[in-house]
Amino acid sequence: MRTQVGIIGAGPAGLMLSHLLYLQGIDSIILECRTREEIEGTIRAGVLEQGTVNLLNAMGASERMMREAHFHHGIELRFNGEGHRINMHELTGGKKVTVYAQHEVLKDLIALRLETGGQMIFNAGDVSLHDLDTASPKIRFRKEQDGELQEISCDYIAGCDGFHGPSRPSIPAEIRKEYQKIYPYGWLGILIEAPPSSPELIYANHERGFALVSTRSPEIQRLYIQVDPKDDIANWSDDRIWTELHARLSTKDGWKLIEGPIFQKGIVAMRSYVCESMQYGRLFLAGDAAHIVPPTGAKGLNLAAADVYVLARSLDAFYKSGKIELLESYSTNCLRHIWKSERFSWFMTSMLHPNHEHTPFERRMQLAELNFATSSRAAMTTLAEEYVDGSLVGQFTESGRNVLV
Ligand code: RFL
Ligand code: PHB
């Protein structure tokens, strides 16, 4: 088999890249180790930046999203029993965040790729990368996990295979520089059947730990609480989860959390991670394969979108006019927006999670940070700009402009 760009991974990065390339007349094959059903059923992100939504619009991938998503003009930061609204719409000149589940974005992208003749191989086994420092890199894999070994020759390979995929380890260790911070917190996330308790997201810092109120639809809500990342979900009965949520979200004015049956729960650990460089020979990493952010800033999927937008434009410049400068500077061009969002995600995580190792002074500093973030117009504007459009997709994809030309 042969293609121009071999893409490993059918997450947001791989699927968006494949469709962006298609729109530019560049062919690609996606190899994915999971089944389509698994991908379309995995619960992850919920918040999309304005720029990501503009990009999905320009790609023709947003019809259902624009009908079913929720558009929020602000968020609430809650601490000391009081809520403080940040009016992001007003502070950013009319931008908003879109709440639409990641697996719904993936369903829309897969359907679009199928409609437009995209080649996607799901359930692929033993995916490996070869000859990356030659003009003809190759991907080997098995169809249906245990089938015969097959090979795809490509001009370029895009490693969009998330944090645990084979692409990043294919870059020789002596060339990779890794930056990492592992946090002493995890998030226990639940999905419940209930109406929304709040019209906008609530990020709460309580001395018992962080809590987040998010949504998926008028009938389904998404809630998180800070837990020990090594904790076992079996230790968390529904009653214990509700007790913590009520305590951490309680306010002096008696705000009420609406309960409902919990139908999904799980714990994720939190880390910040960047791999420099994001390229080696003819391999380019994009999305979680190259970097991870803790979810507090709601940036991971948005960063993946920014990376593949830069990569698609760089590949387009090469195929249309033989220019390789953009490809050569891909990693440098991406790292600018990546480190910006790494900082924001680290800042939000540090401000919102109480830590049992904090000294009383450090706890006071955290509350002072929250007071500042919710009372100074300059601080609120900074937070709003970063939250609504921080990963720089927006810089490339201003509303109303055809971003694909
Ligand atoms: P993904 O989504 O991990 O996709 C990688 C794909 O590669 C496949 N793969 C392989 N394929 C072939 N061969 C192999 N050997 C392979 N190994 C792996 C995998 O099966 C998978 O399909 O990476 P991508 O595309 O870079 O997308 C990144 C995003 O998924 C991630 O950053 C976000 O989910 C992060 N995130 C959030 N991001 C936001 O922008 N807004 C949010 O509100 C938000 N909330 C979240 C989040 C992540 C969370 N968790 C679960 C960590 C909330 C949570 C709780
Ligand atoms: C979500 O709805 O899953 C969500 C919302 C905001 C975040 C992270 C996750 O910061």
Q: Which residue minimizes the CA distance to atom 6 of ligand 2? A: 298
**47 Cβ below 6 A of ligand 2:** yes
Whole-number Å distance, alpha carbon 46 to ligand 2 midpoint, is: 5
Whole-number Å distance, alpha carbon 288 to ligand 1 midpoint, is: 6
User: With 60 as the cut, is the pLDDT of residue 52 above it?
Assistant: yes
Q: What is the per-residue pLDDT across 227-236, written as a single tens digit (0 to 9) for each?
A: 999 999 999 9
**10 Cβ below 6 A of ligand 1:** yes
- Pocket-testing residue among 44, 47, 49, 202, ligand 2, by greatest number of atoms within 8 A of Cβ: 47
| Torsions phi, psi for 347 (to 5 deg) | -65, -50
Q: Are 30 and 179 in contact (CB under 8 A)?
A: no
Confidence of residue 405 (pLDDT cuts 50, 70, 90): very low
User: With 60 as the cut, is the pLDDT of residue 78 above it?
Assistant: yes
Confidence of residue 394 (pLDDT cuts 50, 70, 90): low
Q: What is the per-residue pLDDT across 255-272, written as a single tens digit (0 to 9) for each?
A: 999 999 999 999 999 999
Average pLDDT in the 221-228 region?
Answer: 98
Q: Which of 272, 274, 276 is CA-nearest to residue 171?
A: 276
User: With 50 as the cut, is the pLDDT of residue 254 above it?
Assistant: yes
Average confidence score pLDDT of the chain: 95
Confidence of residue 147 (pLDDT cuts 50, 70, 90): confident
- Pocket-testing residue among 56, 102, 274, ligand 1, by greatest number of atoms within 8 A of Cβ: 102
pLDDT of residue 120: 98
pTM (2 d.p.): 0.96
Q: What is the per-residue pLDDT across 348-375, written as a single tens digit (0 to 9) for each?
A: 999 999 998 899 999 999 999 999 999 9
Average pLDDT in the 274-292 region?
Answer: 98
**105 Cβ below 6 A of ligand 1:** no
Q: Are 74 and 85 in contact (CB under 8 A)?
A: yes
**214 Cβ below 6 A of ligand 2:** yes
Ligand nearest to the CA of 389: 1
CATH of 5-72+97-179+272-355 given 2.60.120.920, 3.60.20.10, 3.10.105.10, 3.50.50.60: 3.50.50.60
**298 Cβ below 6 A of ligand 2:** yes
- Three-class SS of the chain: CECCEEEECCCHHHHHHHHHHHHCCCCEEEECCCCHHHHHHCCCCCEECHHHHHHHHHCCCCHHHHHHCEEECEEEEEECCEEEEEEHHHHCCCCCEEECCHHHHHHHHHHHHHHCCCEEECCCEEEEEECCCCCCCEEEEECCCCCCEEEEECCEEEECCCCCCCCHHHCCCCCCEEEEEEEEEEEEEEEEECCCCCCCEEEEEECCEEEEEEECCCCEEEEEEEECCCCCHHHCCHHHHHHHHHHHHCCCCCCCCCCCCEEEEEEEEEEEEEEECCEECCEEECHHHCEECCHHHCCHHHHHHHHHHHHHHHHHHHHHHCCCHHHHCHHHHHHHHHHHHHHHHHHHHHHHCCCCCCCHHHHHHHHHHHHHHHHCHHHHHHHHHHHHHCCCHHHHCCCCCCCCC
Q: What is the per-residue pLDDT across 284-314, written as a single tens digit (0 to 9) for each?
A: 999 999 999 999 999 999 999 999 999 999 9
Share of the chain above pLDDT 90, in %: 93
**354 Cβ below 6 A of ligand 1:** no
Average pLDDT in the 184-194 region?
Answer: 97
- Residue 52 CA: nearest ligand 1 atom is 40
Name the residues annotated as catalytic: 72, 203, 295, 299, 387
pLDDT of residue 399: 47
Q: Which burial class, exposed, middle or buried, applies to 127 when counting CB atoms under 10 A from its CB (0-12, 13-18, 19+)?
A: buried
Confidence of residue 403 (pLDDT cuts 50, 70, 90): low
359 vs 352: CA distance, rounded Å:
15
User: With 90 as the cut, is the pLDDT of residue 404 above it?
Assistant: no
